[in-house]
Amino acid sequence: MRRTPIRLLGTQTIVAVAVARRCNAASAIWSCAMRLAAIPTPALVVGRDAFDHNVATMAVRWPGRTLRPHVKAFKSTSLAQELAAAGHDAFCAATVRELEGLARAGLGADLLLANEVLDPERLRRLAALSDKHGARVTVAVDSTETINAAATAGIEEVLIDVDVGLPRCGCAPDEAPRLAEQARSRGMEVRGVMGYEGHVVGLESREQREAGVNASMDILTSVHREVGGDVVSGGGTGTWDLNHWVTELQAGSFTLMDTAYERLGLPFRLALAVLGTVISVSAKGWAVVDVGVKALGMDHGNPTILGASVWFCSDEHTTFAPLDGVTTPPVGSRVLVWPAHIDPTIALHEKMFVVNDLPQDTFSLPDELEITDIWDIDLRNW
């Protein structure tokens, strides 16, 4: 029997309808009435309670469109639908494919490509989302080349992307007014500025994060005064309560969280793990779960298994040893593996299986956990 997930948000009716529709549309093999124990591994699982808590917590500080959820973190229109139902219906993304999927799913109210793209064909497709799906599309630009590419493709609105200290994209601050003028001279509307303090969001010291965001936003607000427009876009999960300058926060990881962000002591809870099956146990003290580097983003390091020490990950395996006093799980048992970085982890999977709650105190998973929803990860690749 399928349990109705507990909702923390004030949109029960709308969300419940959306969930029912997706569950009915789900694959014939996997259905929402199934227990998690029947799902083949490795598989992504989402704890509904933690996800709802995260969304509700963020919405207190950043309600409605003051939050511009970054879809790169979760690459799923199903999850984006949940955010839209909670009032956050303006999105940003890192790839054109992510935005195309959102527009097709009816989530095109206000889409921002928060990244530089030069590909003429992709930019043309992006510009066409306006006519095809009634989407509003804005593109980040940081150079004459990206402005020309956007204008040639028929893009109508841009943000000037500014280097605020992260050595990545973004023009030099003193270049921004000239680029804004260029964009306007090509007939495009300049909605404002964007600047991502990505060198700051992951710092474990709150004081350092605060000092970093202050310095970055000094630059961005100063540039904004010269460029004009209504939008100052930036920030992320790690600076969600420290960035007081942006008009919209580009956060995505807060929805599901990971062990790297967890170290920052944020009020968001871990809501995503990779479910694995123990396929081998050695009398020498280790066990092997079928979750490896093809199921885990590894750029933030090894994953975590609660109650165990992770030794290493290989293509399809993680070798771990239970801590003293913890019983080794038998062959065939289910184990949760918590990724260090959700964005590249999710990009490796096809679906997320939602359950009401994920245990946070043990590596074992109760076999009777029921799936309440299935979210397709439909925005992968490029």
**Residue numbers of the site for a copy of itself (CB under 8 A)?**
40-42, 72, 94-95, 115-119, 121-122, 142-143, 145-146, 163, 167-170, 172, 198, 277, 279-284, 286, 288, 290, 293-295, 297-299, 311, 313-317, 319, 331-332, 341, 343-344, 347-350, 381-382
Q: CB under 8 Å to 40, separation ≥6 — which residues?
A: none
Cβ proximity to a copy of itself: between 85 and 193 the closer is 193
Contact in structure between 339 and 259 (CB atoms under 8 Å): yes
As a whole number of angstroms, the distance between CA 312 and CA 170 comes to 37
Closest CB to a copy of itself among 15 and 220? 220
CB 330 within 8 A of CB 278: yes
Residue 195 or 297: the one with the smaller Cβ distance to a copy of itself is 297
> With contact defined as beta carbons under 8 Å apart, do 251 and 83 qualify?
no
Residue 285 or 325: the one with the smaller Cβ distance to a copy of itself is 285
Kindly write down the DSSP assignment for every residue of 6-33, as one continuous string.
P--SS-HHHHHHHHHHHHHHS-SSS-TT
Report the nearest approach of a copy of itself to the CB of residue 245 (Å).
22
Residue 166, classified by CB atoms within 10 Å of its CB into exposed (0-12), middle (13-18) or buried (19+), is middle
CB of 284 to a copy of itself, least distance (A): 7
Taking the complex as a whole, the smallest distance from the CB of residue 185 to a copy of itself amounts, in Å, to 19
Nearest residue (CB) to a copy of itself, 121 versus 230: 121
Residue 161 host element (H or E): strand 157-161
Minimum distance from residue 198 beta carbon to a copy of itself (Å): 7
Of 72 and 209, CB closest to a copy of itself? 72
Q: CB-side exposure of 57: number of CA atoms within 13 Å?
A: 18
